[in-house]
Structure 1
Amino acid sequence: MMSTFAPARHLTRCCISRLSCARFVSTFVNVVREQNNAYTKNALKCYEESKDEVDRKLDPVFNTNALVLFMDGTVDAPKGQLSLNVVKMLTEIVRQIQAVPLVTVDVTEHPAVTGYTVAKSGSEVTPHLYYNGNFYGDHDRILSKYKSGELRKIGTNKRSEGAFAGELPIGINQFTVCTSGDYLVAALVTNRNFKMLGEGSLELRL
Protein backbone atom coordinates (compact mmCIF):
# COMPACT_ATOMS: atom_id res chain seq x y z
CA MET A 1 0.00 0.00 0.00
CA MET A 2 1.39 3.39 -1.03
CA SER A 3 2.14 5.73 1.81
CA THR A 4 0.22 8.97 1.94
CA PHE A 5 3.58 10.68 2.42
CA ALA A 6 4.98 9.42 -0.93
CA PRO A 7 3.95 12.53 -2.92
CA ALA A 8 5.55 14.74 -0.30
CA ARG A 9 8.79 12.74 -0.43
CA HIS A 10 8.76 12.93 -4.24
CA LEU A 11 8.23 16.69 -4.10
CA THR A 12 11.08 17.03 -1.62
CA ARG A 13 13.44 15.05 -3.88
CA CYS A 14 12.48 17.25 -6.86
CA CYS A 15 13.12 20.42 -4.87
CA ILE A 16 16.50 19.15 -3.70
CA SER A 17 17.41 18.12 -7.25
CA ARG A 18 16.47 21.52 -8.66
CA LEU A 19 18.31 23.30 -5.86
CA SER A 20 21.44 21.23 -6.52
CA CYS A 21 21.22 22.01 -10.24
CA ALA A 22 20.83 25.72 -9.53
CA ARG A 23 23.84 25.66 -7.20
CA PHE A 24 25.91 23.85 -9.83
CA VAL A 25 25.02 26.41 -12.50
CA SER A 26 25.77 29.27 -10.12
CA THR A 27 29.11 27.73 -9.17
CA PHE A 28 30.01 27.11 -12.81
CA VAL A 29 29.17 30.70 -13.78
CA ASN A 30 31.24 32.04 -10.91
CA VAL A 31 34.22 29.87 -11.87
CA VAL A 32 34.03 31.02 -15.49
CA ARG A 33 33.75 34.64 -14.38
CA GLU A 34 36.79 34.27 -12.12
CA GLN A 35 38.80 32.67 -14.93
CA ASN A 36 37.82 35.44 -17.32
CA ASN A 37 38.76 38.08 -14.77
CA ALA A 38 42.12 36.42 -14.18
CA TYR A 39 42.81 36.20 -17.92
CA THR A 40 41.81 39.83 -18.46
CA LYS A 41 44.06 40.95 -15.61
CA ASN A 42 46.98 39.02 -17.11
CA ALA A 43 46.19 40.38 -20.59
CA LEU A 44 46.25 43.96 -19.34
CA LYS A 45 49.56 43.26 -17.60
CA CYS A 46 51.05 41.83 -20.82
CA TYR A 47 49.83 44.85 -22.74
CA GLU A 48 51.33 47.32 -20.26
CA GLU A 49 54.67 45.50 -20.40
CA SER A 50 54.85 45.84 -24.20
CA LYS A 51 52.56 48.84 -24.67
CA ASP A 52 54.80 50.83 -27.02
CA GLU A 53 55.33 47.87 -29.33
CA VAL A 54 51.68 46.81 -29.35
CA ASP A 55 50.46 50.37 -29.92
CA ARG A 56 52.92 50.79 -32.78
CA LYS A 57 51.54 47.68 -34.46
CA LEU A 58 47.83 48.11 -33.81
CA ASP A 59 47.17 51.87 -33.76
CA PRO A 60 47.69 52.19 -37.55
CA VAL A 61 44.86 49.69 -38.10
CA PHE A 62 42.39 52.34 -36.92
CA ASN A 63 44.02 55.03 -39.06
CA THR A 64 43.37 53.18 -42.30
CA ASN A 65 40.22 51.14 -41.60
CA ALA A 66 36.79 52.40 -40.60
CA LEU A 67 35.51 49.09 -39.23
CA VAL A 68 37.71 46.93 -36.98
CA LEU A 69 36.61 43.81 -35.11
CA PHE A 70 38.69 42.30 -32.31
CA MET A 71 37.41 38.74 -32.06
CA ASP A 72 38.28 35.26 -30.80
CA GLY A 73 39.63 33.45 -33.85
CA THR A 74 39.08 34.45 -37.46
CA VAL A 75 36.07 35.03 -39.68
CA ASP A 76 36.65 31.59 -41.20
CA ALA A 77 37.03 29.90 -37.82
CA PRO A 78 35.64 31.83 -34.82
CA LYS A 79 36.80 30.36 -31.50
CA GLY A 80 33.84 31.52 -29.44
CA GLN A 81 30.07 31.70 -29.74
CA LEU A 82 30.00 35.45 -29.13
CA SER A 83 32.47 36.11 -31.94
CA LEU A 84 30.55 33.77 -34.23
CA ASN A 85 27.33 35.64 -33.49
CA VAL A 86 28.89 39.01 -34.32
CA VAL A 87 30.30 37.67 -37.59
CA LYS A 88 26.83 36.39 -38.49
CA MET A 89 25.28 39.77 -37.72
CA LEU A 90 27.86 41.65 -39.77
CA THR A 91 27.44 39.35 -42.77
CA GLU A 92 23.66 39.52 -42.43
CA ILE A 93 23.54 43.28 -42.93
CA VAL A 94 25.29 43.07 -46.31
CA ARG A 95 22.08 41.66 -47.73
CA GLN A 96 20.66 45.14 -47.40
CA ILE A 97 23.68 47.45 -47.56
CA GLN A 98 27.27 47.40 -48.73
CA ALA A 99 29.28 47.57 -45.55
CA VAL A 100 32.55 49.40 -45.30
CA PRO A 101 35.69 47.21 -45.41
CA LEU A 102 36.09 45.21 -42.20
CA VAL A 103 39.41 44.34 -40.58
CA THR A 104 39.47 41.55 -38.01
CA VAL A 105 42.08 41.04 -35.30
CA ASP A 106 42.42 37.67 -33.56
CA VAL A 107 42.81 38.39 -29.85
CA THR A 108 43.80 34.79 -29.13
CA GLU A 109 47.13 35.27 -30.92
CA HIS A 110 48.62 37.00 -27.87
CA PRO A 111 47.29 38.17 -24.47
CA ALA A 112 48.68 41.66 -25.13
CA VAL A 113 46.25 42.02 -28.04
CA THR A 114 43.36 41.29 -25.68
CA GLY A 115 44.82 43.76 -23.20
CA TYR A 116 45.04 46.39 -25.93
CA THR A 117 41.37 46.25 -26.87
CA VAL A 118 40.20 45.89 -23.25
CA ALA A 119 42.14 49.03 -22.33
CA LYS A 120 40.88 50.89 -25.39
CA SER A 121 37.22 49.87 -25.09
CA GLY A 122 36.73 49.57 -21.35
CA SER A 123 34.91 46.28 -21.97
CA GLU A 124 36.42 43.09 -20.57
CA VAL A 125 34.59 40.59 -22.81
CA THR A 126 35.42 40.30 -26.51
CA PRO A 127 34.45 40.62 -29.33
CA HIS A 128 34.86 44.39 -29.67
CA LEU A 129 33.75 46.33 -32.73
CA TYR A 130 35.19 49.75 -33.57
CA TYR A 131 33.79 52.21 -36.08
CA ASN A 132 35.84 55.20 -37.26
CA GLY A 133 38.30 54.62 -34.44
CA ASN A 134 35.65 54.66 -31.72
CA PHE A 135 34.40 51.71 -29.68
CA TYR A 136 31.07 50.69 -31.22
CA GLY A 137 30.15 47.85 -28.90
CA ASP A 138 30.73 44.39 -27.49
CA HIS A 139 28.52 41.40 -28.32
CA ASP A 140 25.50 42.50 -26.29
CA ARG A 141 25.57 46.09 -27.54
CA ILE A 142 26.04 44.96 -31.14
CA LEU A 143 23.13 42.53 -30.75
CA SER A 144 20.96 45.33 -29.38
CA LYS A 145 21.87 47.61 -32.29
CA TYR A 146 21.30 44.76 -34.73
CA LYS A 147 17.79 44.19 -33.38
CA SER A 148 16.96 47.90 -33.45
CA GLY A 149 18.27 48.31 -37.00
CA GLU A 150 21.01 50.73 -35.97
CA LEU A 151 23.74 48.32 -37.09
CA ARG A 152 22.51 48.67 -40.68
CA LYS A 153 23.60 52.32 -40.66
CA ILE A 154 27.22 51.20 -40.95
CA GLY A 155 28.33 51.59 -44.57
CA THR A 156 26.43 52.89 -47.57
CA ASN A 157 23.56 51.80 -49.77
CA LYS A 158 25.75 51.84 -52.86
CA ARG A 159 26.06 48.46 -54.56
CA SER A 160 29.13 47.07 -56.30
CA GLU A 161 30.01 48.03 -59.84
CA GLY A 162 32.03 46.39 -62.59
CA ALA A 163 32.62 42.63 -62.34
CA PHE A 164 30.54 42.40 -59.17
CA ALA A 165 27.77 44.77 -60.29
CA GLY A 166 24.65 44.52 -58.18
CA GLU A 167 26.26 42.36 -55.50
CA LEU A 168 26.53 43.23 -51.84
CA PRO A 169 30.03 42.14 -50.75
CA ILE A 170 31.74 42.80 -47.48
CA GLY A 171 35.48 43.26 -47.74
CA ILE A 172 37.41 41.55 -44.98
CA ASN A 173 41.04 42.09 -44.07
CA GLN A 174 42.37 39.71 -41.46
CA PHE A 175 45.02 41.32 -39.27
CA THR A 176 47.14 38.66 -37.61
CA VAL A 177 49.42 39.36 -34.68
CA CYS A 178 51.94 36.65 -33.84
CA THR A 179 54.94 36.36 -31.57
CA SER A 180 58.52 36.22 -32.75
CA GLY A 181 60.82 35.81 -29.79
CA ASP A 182 59.96 38.61 -27.39
CA TYR A 183 58.56 40.82 -30.12
CA LEU A 184 55.12 41.20 -31.67
CA VAL A 185 54.92 40.98 -35.43
CA ALA A 186 51.79 42.10 -37.27
CA ALA A 187 50.80 41.63 -40.90
CA LEU A 188 47.77 41.91 -43.12
CA VAL A 189 47.48 38.40 -44.47
CA THR A 190 44.24 38.31 -46.45
CA ASN A 191 41.97 40.53 -48.46
CA ARG A 192 38.76 38.82 -49.47
CA ASN A 193 35.18 39.48 -50.48
CA PHE A 194 32.23 37.39 -49.38
CA LYS A 195 29.12 37.16 -51.53
CA MET A 196 25.90 36.05 -49.86
CA LEU A 197 24.46 33.00 -51.63
CA GLY A 198 21.55 32.23 -49.35
CA GLU A 199 20.58 31.77 -45.75
CA GLY A 200 23.83 31.24 -43.85
CA SER A 201 25.89 30.61 -47.01
CA LEU A 202 28.97 32.48 -48.16
CA GLU A 203 31.01 32.30 -51.33
CA LEU A 204 34.67 33.24 -51.04
CA ARG A 205 36.08 35.35 -53.85
CA LEU A 206 39.86 35.78 -53.89
Structure 2
Amino acid sequence: MQSSYIANIISGGLIALVNISVAVSVAALLFAQTDQRLMVPGIAILLIGTLVTGLGGTLFSGYKAVVCSPRNGLIPVFAVIVSSIYVSFGSEYSVGAEATIIVAIMVTTTFAGLFLLLLGRLKLGNLVRYIPYPVTGGFFAGIGYIFIQGGLTVASGRDADLGSIADPQFIQLVTPAVVLALCLIIGKMFRDNRLSVPGILLLTVLFSMVYWQ
Protein backbone atom coordinates (compact mmCIF):
# COMPACT_ATOMS: atom_id res chain seq x y z
CA MET A 1 0.00 0.00 0.00
CA GLN A 2 2.81 2.40 0.88
CA SER A 3 4.56 1.71 -2.42
CA SER A 4 1.31 2.55 -4.21
CA TYR A 5 1.15 5.91 -2.46
CA ILE A 6 4.76 6.64 -3.39
CA ALA A 7 4.10 5.71 -7.01
CA ASN A 8 1.04 7.98 -7.08
CA ILE A 9 3.01 10.88 -5.61
CA ILE A 10 5.80 10.43 -8.15
CA SER A 11 3.32 10.16 -11.01
CA GLY A 12 1.44 13.23 -9.82
CA GLY A 13 4.67 15.18 -9.53
CA LEU A 14 5.74 14.26 -13.06
CA ILE A 15 2.31 15.12 -14.46
CA ALA A 16 2.39 18.47 -12.66
CA LEU A 17 5.88 19.18 -14.01
CA VAL A 18 4.82 18.36 -17.56
CA ASN A 19 1.61 20.40 -17.29
CA ILE A 20 3.46 23.42 -15.93
CA SER A 21 5.98 23.15 -18.75
CA VAL A 22 3.20 22.91 -21.33
CA ALA A 23 1.35 25.89 -19.83
CA VAL A 24 4.45 28.07 -19.88
CA SER A 25 5.32 26.92 -23.41
CA VAL A 26 1.83 27.68 -24.73
CA ALA A 27 1.95 31.13 -23.12
CA ALA A 28 5.33 31.77 -24.72
CA LEU A 29 4.03 30.73 -28.14
CA LEU A 30 0.98 32.99 -27.80
CA PHE A 31 2.49 36.12 -26.30
CA ALA A 32 6.24 36.18 -26.90
CA GLN A 33 5.84 37.27 -30.52
CA THR A 34 3.22 39.89 -29.65
CA ASP A 35 4.58 41.66 -26.57
CA GLN A 36 6.86 40.33 -23.86
CA ARG A 37 4.85 42.19 -21.22
CA LEU A 38 1.89 39.93 -21.92
CA MET A 39 3.89 36.87 -20.90
CA VAL A 40 3.28 37.22 -17.15
CA PRO A 41 -0.55 37.44 -17.29
CA GLY A 42 -0.54 34.83 -20.05
CA ILE A 43 1.39 32.33 -17.97
CA ALA A 44 -0.83 33.11 -14.96
CA ILE A 45 -4.00 32.43 -16.97
CA LEU A 46 -2.73 29.11 -18.28
CA LEU A 47 -1.44 27.95 -14.90
CA ILE A 48 -4.76 28.79 -13.24
CA GLY A 49 -6.61 27.05 -16.07
CA THR A 50 -4.38 24.00 -15.66
CA LEU A 51 -5.13 23.90 -11.93
CA VAL A 52 -8.88 24.26 -12.44
CA THR A 53 -9.10 21.60 -15.17
CA GLY A 54 -6.85 19.25 -13.22
CA LEU A 55 -8.94 19.49 -10.08
CA GLY A 56 -12.19 19.38 -12.03
CA GLY A 57 -11.19 16.31 -13.99
CA THR A 58 -9.95 14.51 -10.89
CA LEU A 59 -12.96 15.30 -8.72
CA PHE A 60 -15.83 15.06 -11.21
CA SER A 61 -14.73 12.71 -13.97
CA GLY A 62 -16.15 9.21 -14.11
CA TYR A 63 -12.73 7.85 -15.05
CA LYS A 64 -10.30 7.42 -12.18
CA ALA A 65 -7.21 7.56 -14.37
CA VAL A 66 -8.13 10.77 -16.20
CA VAL A 67 -5.30 13.28 -16.66
CA CYS A 68 -6.21 16.86 -17.59
CA SER A 69 -3.62 19.10 -19.16
CA PRO A 70 -3.46 22.22 -21.35
CA ARG A 71 -4.35 21.49 -24.95
CA ASN A 72 -2.40 23.05 -27.77
CA GLY A 73 -5.05 22.49 -30.43
CA LEU A 74 -6.61 25.92 -29.91
CA ILE A 75 -3.35 27.83 -30.19
CA PRO A 76 -4.10 29.03 -33.77
CA VAL A 77 -7.48 30.36 -32.63
CA PHE A 78 -6.01 32.09 -29.59
CA ALA A 79 -3.11 33.43 -31.67
CA VAL A 80 -5.55 35.12 -34.04
CA ILE A 81 -7.53 36.55 -31.11
CA VAL A 82 -4.43 37.89 -29.35
CA SER A 83 -2.95 39.38 -32.52
CA SER A 84 -6.24 40.99 -33.59
CA ILE A 85 -6.84 42.59 -30.20
CA TYR A 86 -3.24 43.79 -29.99
CA VAL A 87 -3.46 45.37 -33.45
CA SER A 88 -6.78 47.01 -32.59
CA PHE A 89 -5.01 48.80 -29.73
CA GLY A 90 -2.44 50.24 -32.12
CA SER A 91 0.07 47.40 -31.64
CA GLU A 92 1.11 48.96 -28.35
CA TYR A 93 0.93 47.54 -24.86
CA SER A 94 -1.69 48.97 -22.53
CA VAL A 95 -3.70 47.84 -19.54
CA GLY A 96 -6.81 47.90 -21.71
CA ALA A 97 -5.22 45.61 -24.29
CA GLU A 98 -4.05 43.21 -21.60
CA ALA A 99 -7.48 43.11 -19.93
CA THR A 100 -9.26 42.64 -23.26
CA ILE A 101 -6.99 39.75 -24.24
CA ILE A 102 -7.48 38.05 -20.87
CA VAL A 103 -11.27 38.39 -21.03
CA ALA A 104 -11.35 37.19 -24.63
CA ILE A 105 -9.36 34.07 -23.77
CA MET A 106 -11.56 33.36 -20.74
CA VAL A 107 -14.81 33.79 -22.71
CA THR A 108 -13.55 31.71 -25.63
CA THR A 109 -12.41 28.93 -23.31
CA THR A 110 -15.71 28.94 -21.43
CA PHE A 111 -17.84 28.71 -24.57
CA ALA A 112 -15.59 26.02 -26.04
CA GLY A 113 -15.92 23.98 -22.85
CA LEU A 114 -19.70 24.38 -22.76
CA PHE A 115 -19.94 23.39 -26.42
CA LEU A 116 -17.88 20.24 -25.87
CA LEU A 117 -19.92 19.43 -22.76
CA LEU A 118 -23.11 19.76 -24.80
CA LEU A 119 -21.74 17.48 -27.51
CA GLY A 120 -20.85 14.90 -24.88
CA ARG A 121 -24.22 15.06 -23.15
CA LEU A 122 -26.07 14.70 -26.45
CA LYS A 123 -23.67 11.97 -27.62
CA LEU A 124 -22.91 13.86 -30.81
CA GLY A 125 -19.16 13.32 -30.82
CA ASN A 126 -19.43 11.32 -34.05
CA LEU A 127 -20.25 14.54 -35.90
CA VAL A 128 -16.52 15.24 -35.94
CA ARG A 129 -16.18 12.61 -38.66
CA TYR A 130 -18.12 14.85 -41.05
CA ILE A 131 -15.50 17.61 -40.93
CA PRO A 132 -13.75 17.59 -44.35
CA TYR A 133 -10.22 16.22 -44.32
CA PRO A 134 -8.70 19.35 -45.97
CA VAL A 135 -10.11 21.45 -43.12
CA THR A 136 -8.64 19.16 -40.48
CA GLY A 137 -5.33 18.88 -42.33
CA GLY A 138 -5.05 22.64 -42.78
CA PHE A 139 -5.85 23.23 -39.12
CA PHE A 140 -3.14 20.86 -37.92
CA ALA A 141 -0.70 22.24 -40.47
CA GLY A 142 -1.32 25.68 -38.99
CA ILE A 143 -0.68 24.33 -35.51
CA GLY A 144 2.60 22.81 -36.67
CA TYR A 145 3.71 26.04 -38.33
CA ILE A 146 2.95 28.09 -35.22
CA PHE A 147 4.76 25.56 -33.04
CA ILE A 148 7.90 25.56 -35.17
CA GLN A 149 8.08 29.30 -35.74
CA GLY A 150 7.04 30.18 -32.20
CA GLY A 151 9.37 27.63 -30.63
CA LEU A 152 12.37 28.85 -32.62
CA THR A 153 11.47 32.47 -31.85
CA VAL A 154 11.22 31.80 -28.11
CA ALA A 155 14.42 29.74 -28.10
CA SER A 156 16.45 32.31 -30.03
CA GLY A 157 14.86 35.52 -28.76
CA ARG A 158 14.42 36.82 -32.31
CA ASP A 159 12.05 36.36 -35.22
CA ALA A 160 12.71 33.06 -36.95
CA ASP A 161 12.81 33.06 -40.76
CA LEU A 162 14.68 31.27 -43.53
CA GLY A 163 17.51 33.78 -43.37
CA SER A 164 18.16 32.87 -39.75
CA ILE A 165 19.45 29.44 -40.77
CA ALA A 166 22.69 31.04 -41.97
CA ASP A 167 23.25 32.78 -38.62
CA PRO A 168 25.63 30.75 -36.38
CA GLN A 169 24.34 32.43 -33.23
CA PHE A 170 20.76 31.51 -34.13
CA ILE A 171 21.79 27.89 -34.69
CA GLN A 172 23.58 27.81 -31.36
CA LEU A 173 20.55 29.15 -29.49
CA VAL A 174 17.96 26.83 -31.04
CA THR A 175 20.03 23.62 -30.92
CA PRO A 176 18.89 22.59 -27.39
CA ALA A 177 15.24 23.16 -28.34
CA VAL A 178 15.62 21.08 -31.50
CA VAL A 179 17.33 18.30 -29.54
CA LEU A 180 14.50 18.31 -26.99
CA ALA A 181 11.91 18.09 -29.77
CA LEU A 182 13.72 15.13 -31.32
CA CYS A 183 13.93 13.43 -27.92
CA LEU A 184 10.19 13.85 -27.44
CA ILE A 185 9.51 12.37 -30.87
CA ILE A 186 11.75 9.40 -30.12
CA GLY A 187 10.21 9.08 -26.66
CA LYS A 188 6.78 8.52 -28.19
CA MET A 189 8.11 5.31 -29.68
CA PHE A 190 8.69 4.05 -26.12
CA ARG A 191 5.61 5.54 -24.47
CA ASP A 192 4.72 2.19 -22.92
CA ASN A 193 7.88 2.42 -20.84
CA ARG A 194 7.25 4.23 -17.56
CA LEU A 195 10.78 5.64 -17.58
CA SER A 196 10.50 7.30 -20.99
CA VAL A 197 9.28 10.73 -19.82
CA PRO A 198 11.59 11.02 -16.78
CA GLY A 199 14.47 9.81 -18.93
CA ILE A 200 13.80 12.42 -21.61
CA LEU A 201 13.59 15.22 -19.05
CA LEU A 202 16.78 14.09 -17.33
CA LEU A 203 18.73 13.74 -20.57
CA THR A 204 17.52 17.15 -21.72
CA VAL A 205 18.68 18.81 -18.50
CA LEU A 206 22.07 17.08 -18.69
CA PHE A 207 22.49 18.01 -22.35
CA SER A 208 21.64 21.65 -21.66
CA MET A 209 24.09 21.80 -18.76
CA VAL A 210 26.91 20.36 -20.87
CA TYR A 211 25.99 22.39 -23.96
CA TRP A 212 26.03 25.77 -22.21
CA GLN A 213 29.24 25.21 -20.25
TM tier relative to shorter chain: under 0.3
Task: State TM-score, norm by structure 1.
Answer: 0.25
Specify which structure has the bigger relative contact order, considering alpha-carbon pairs within 8 angstroms and separated by 6 or more residues: 1
Task: State TM-score, norm by structure 2.
Answer: 0.24
Q: Which has the larger radius of gyration?
A: 1
